[in-house]
Structure 1
Amino acid sequence: MAEVTLSNVSKAFGKTQAVSDISMTIGDGEFVVLLGPTGAGKTTTLRLISGLEKLDAGSVHIGGRDVGQDTPAQRDVAMVFQQYSLYPHLTVRDNLAFPLRSPILKTPEDEIARKVHEIAEVLQIPHKLDNKATELSGGEMQRVSIGRALVRDPSIYLMDEPLSSLDAKLRADLRVELKRIQAELGSTLLYVTHDQVEAMTMANKIGVLEEGRLVQFGTPKEIYEDPVSVYVASRLGLPRINILPSGLFPGAHKGAQIGLRPENIRQGDGVEARVVRAEHLGDQTRLHLDVQGHAITTLTDPHRTYSSDAMIRISPQNPLYFDAQGARVA
């Protein structure tokens, strides 16, 4: 594995600036997630690291070496795509072995057999090795697709939303599994997603992208608790953070807008709020409120019941403040 460094990386497609002046370091053995909506520049960044796209400006270093002039094969990266990308006529064993049989790697057959068995054990699919790819479930196919990357020992694994086409349960299962595999192998991994749950549960570091710019880079805890803007604050947390005019609550305030995570709203005193509805989710209740025409979501005791149009009082606790343009006010 190796450290990967991006320095002032930019890429445009015609008049569209896909990536703009991105600088970040993916440490050796780190699991880094790039988070942002469609069009934020996540996949383009991945493709620039892999060599599938050429840089307009800046540099990419892998293991301390400038790879700007290297082909994808010379960069020693392994990519996993959103779609399964398996050979349907081959068995699981041969699909896993395929990258190792490339003329560049020239891996001996006994070494191929060892690596394939090792990765099949890690992925918990050794009993499927002789099945054709077409005989697998969607989750098993994606495991094999991930396994095709894992059999190699590249400098970095690059994964482009590999779980997004799976159903919710499989996604949750493979999230846990992928993090376990990465920790076991000590791999350097860059993972692209728009799913905040994937980012929060898997990453050592998260890079938040907005319109091709890296607007914040840090641990999930840092980004959740100390976001630099309304945009970043809104990327993490379910239910989403409440962004409200500061004047909605009495007292002195540091910014034009106040940001309240659902868990940072105290009941019992403060401004009057009308209960719109209560969602009972077993371990918690989400309370949807209206305060002077502003919608607010908070969390409350799952054992307490609320009737629609009931009036309660709420007040801010540990609020975040933002200026009128959405930038964080310290």
Structure 2
Amino acid sequence: MTHLELDSVTKVFGDPEKDGVVAVNDLHIDVPDGEFLVLLGPSGCGKTTTLRMIGGLEDPTEGEVRFDGTVVNDVKARNRDVAMVFQDFALYPHMTVRENLGFGLKREDNGMSDDEIDSRVTDVAEMLEIEELLNNKPSQLSGGQKQRVALGRAIIREPRMFLFDEPLANLDAKLRKTMRTEIDELQSEVGITSAYVTHNQEEAMTIADKIAVLNNGQLQQLGTPDQVFNEPSNLFVAQFVGSPDMNLFDGTLSDAGDAYRVDMDTTTFDIPKALVEGEITADEVLVGFRPQDLYQVRNRATDGPEFDTEVRVVEPVGTEAIVHGTSFLGDVTAKIGTFHDLEPNDQMTLTIAPEHVYLFDANTEKLLKGRLVSERSENEASADSVEA
């Protein structure tokens, strides 16, 4: 296992003194031994460039990449003992699965005999449940089988670090879910420090120990999946993490004794100060509602803002539906369970619990209040305690 550190890492393509393009800017990331880091962000945010600097395929313009406290900036990729898995699998088409798996071991000067290599190949194939495919060539494999072989080729070397560059991008939706679960289980089993690049926030939330959210080459937040979802550092993180997208509305904030009063057009509600860490001094705010936190007044306890909504579209997704509507606040998206009697042009009234409301400074876009997941106080009605 390896302790990975990125200390003030910057990467500029071109001349830094002239018209160079800053791909990564002053990045600080600390990944303890055995942790699974996901680099998350939109296209062009610098996540793949960061991964390539960790692997030694790109040199930092400034800063240090450290493995277990040792600077590896000048260590060539082949000497860093990292294994990379790419989205295109990169298998040798003329070799069998057995030969693909054992190729790296045969190239290394590790003193292993052919029998020892073959034994290692068999063990890894059994781990990945591809032992029946050892004599097949890549052209005879499905996408998921090819991905397993690519993973096996990385695992068999027992490297100090795994690097994954969108390894599931070429798989269909069902297979993506299966493979990401297998990658997560595999990483936990072998306990090797790993960095994984994706733009898919669902992937990031399900497999990461820590998520580094990047935008325009800068680190926006480094935290656990719960932290980046419930306590996003700023508006960008809040909007990028979570599906469907967060509802955002303009509001003004004022002091109301033991609470902060939020005014949004024709609705006003209070957020108890006990739900907020520190003092809020901003007057102009952006108010955020996650779609899954909204519920219908006629079915639930009400203790937050209420707003009438005209249904435009109902999108069933199993036992729930994503409902798009229009209210006096603007367009609203809610994810609700009681949707079977809803049709376009119907009216419904939505509300949200104060502890689930997000507040952002309208000027700086910094988080002022996140989504609390702790239990409500005893004197407050729980939304789930009222029968539908």
| Selected match of 2:207 from 189, 202, 221 | 202
Contact 1:63 1:155 in 2 (8 A): no
Using the alignment, how far apart are the partners of 2:68 and 2:132 within structure 1? Answer: 36
Number of the residue aligned with 1:109? 114
Contact 1:243 1:257 in 2 (8 A): yes
Q: Name the aligned partner's letter for residue 294 of structure 2.
A: I
Mapping of residues 185-224 of structure 1, within 5 Å: 185-224=190-229
Q: 1:136-180 CA deviation, whole Å, 9 max, x = no partner?
A: 111111111121111111111000000011111111110111111
Mapping of residues 125-204 of structure 1, within 5 Å: 125-204=130-209
Number of the residue aligned with 2:250? 245
**Could you list the runs of 5+ residues in structure 1 that have no partner in the other structure?**
none
Number of the residue aligned with 1:290? 326
1:238 deviates by 1.5
Q: Name the aligned partner's letter for residue 120 of structure 1.
A: A
1:316 deviates by 3.2
Using the alignment, how far apart are the partners of 1:11 and 1:66 within structure 2? Answer: 16
Number of the residue aligned with 1:236? 241
| Selected match of 1:259 from 275, 281, 288 | 288
Using the alignment, how far apart are the partners of 1:210 and 1:228 within structure 2? Answer: 13
Using the alignment, how far apart are the partners of 2:114 and 2:249 within structure 1? Answer: 63
Which moves more between the two structures, 310-319 or 155-164? 310-319
Which moves more between the two structures, 252-261 or 29-38? 252-261
Number of the residue aligned with 1:3? 3
- The alignment's TM-score, normalised by the length of structure 1, stands at 0.95
1:64 deviates by 2.1
Mapping of residues 8-23 of structure 1, within 5 Å: 8-14=8-14, 15-23=20-28
Return closer, same or farther for 1:105/1:21 CA change in 2, 3 Å cut-off: farther
Contact 1:280 1:302 in 2 (8 A): no
**Could you list the runs of 5+ residues in structure 2 that have no partner in the other structure?**
15-19, 252-263, 272-281, 370-388
**TM superposition outliers: structure 1 runs of 4+ over 6 Å:** none
Number of the residue aligned with 1:99? 104
Contact 2:247 2:333 in 1 (8 A): yes
Return closer, same or farther for 1:293/1:271 CA change in 2, 3 Å cut-off: closer
Q: Name the aligned partner's letter for residue 269 of structure 2.
A: G
1:302 deviates by 4.2
Identity of aligned residues (%): 40
- The alignment's TM-score, normalised by the length of structure 2, stands at 0.82
Q: Name the aligned partner's letter for residue 92 of structure 1.
A: V
Using the alignment, how far apart are the partners of 2:69 and 2:329 within structure 1? Answer: 55
Q: Does 1:225 align with 2:225?
A: no
RMSD of Structure 2 on Structure 1 (CA): 1.6
1:63 deviates by 2.0
| Selected match of 1:24 from 29, 52, 73 | 29
Q: Name the aligned partner's letter for residue 2 of structure 1.
A: T
Using the alignment, how far apart are the partners of 1:242 and 1:156 within structure 2? Answer: 39
Match of 1:296, SS state, is strand
Q: 1:118-139 CA deviation, whole Å, 9 max, x = no partner?
A: 1111211000001112111111
Match of 1:251, SS state, is strand
Contact 2:24 2:218 in 1 (8 A): yes
Match of 2:268, SS state, is coil
Contact 1:100 1:106 in 2 (8 A): no
1:267 deviates by 2.2
Return closer, same or farther for 1:250/1:28 CA change in 2, 3 Å cut-off: same
Number of the residue aligned with 2:368? 329
Using the alignment, how far apart are the partners of 2:289 and 2:329 within structure 1? Answer: 16
1:110 deviates by 2.5
Using the alignment, how far apart are the partners of 2:158 and 2:360 within structure 1? Answer: 45
Q: Does 1:70 align with 2:99?
A: no
Q: Highest relative contact order (Cα 8 Å, sep 6+), 1 or 2?
A: 1
1:313 deviates by 1.8
Mapping of residues 114-125 of structure 1, within 5 Å: 114-125=119-130
1:293 deviates by 6.5
Contact 1:40 1:212 in 2 (8 A): yes
1:57 deviates by 0.6
Match of 2:219, SS state, is strand
Q: 1:191-216 CA deviation, whole Å, 9 max, x = no partner?
A: 00001111011111111001111110
Structure ID, larger Rg: 2
Number of the residue aligned with 1:33? 38
Number of the residue aligned with 1:320? 358
Using the alignment, how far apart are the partners of 2:332 and 2:230 within structure 1? Answer: 19
